Amino acid sequence: GAVVSQHPSWVICKSGTSVKIECRSLDFQATTMFWYRQFPKQSLMLMATSNEGSKATYEQGVEKDKFLINHASLTLSTLTVTSAHPEDSSFYICSAGDASLGNQPQHFGDGTRLSIL
């Protein structure tokens, strides 16, 4: 079945550090990937749509200069949290669907737990 790999699974770093998270589709090509954030006991919040070869589309209220997204190939999207602060601590999850199947269904990576000290 479709597998989405996300790395790293856990990051602890100091305030002001930039953190890069990778999302890979292992056995299919993904022209679109989605990045979510989830705070404890809350629902998934879509942050942005990552589009291969073009700019990402950000949801209202998400700072594009804070959360940099790059989707340079059909199997890899990266999310960089720039100058992270404690309020950026959260669970970040990506999803992707097989482009040859109309991008459905979406499969999720295992998530990255980010803790900013």
Residues that bind other proteins in the complex, under the rule CB under 8 A:
6, 32, 34, 43-44, 46, 49, 91, 93, 95, 97, 102-111
Peptide bond into 40 cis (omega under 30): no
Distances (CA, A) of 39 to 2, 46, 93, 114: 26, 12, 11, 11
∠ CA 38-101-49, nearest 5°, is 35
Distance, CA of 23 to CA of 80 (rounded, Å): 11
CB of 113 to other proteins, least distance (A): 8
Nearer Cβ to other proteins (64/83): 64
Nearer Cβ to other proteins (17/22): 22
CB of 13 to other proteins, least distance (A): 20
Nearer Cβ to other proteins (53/102): 102
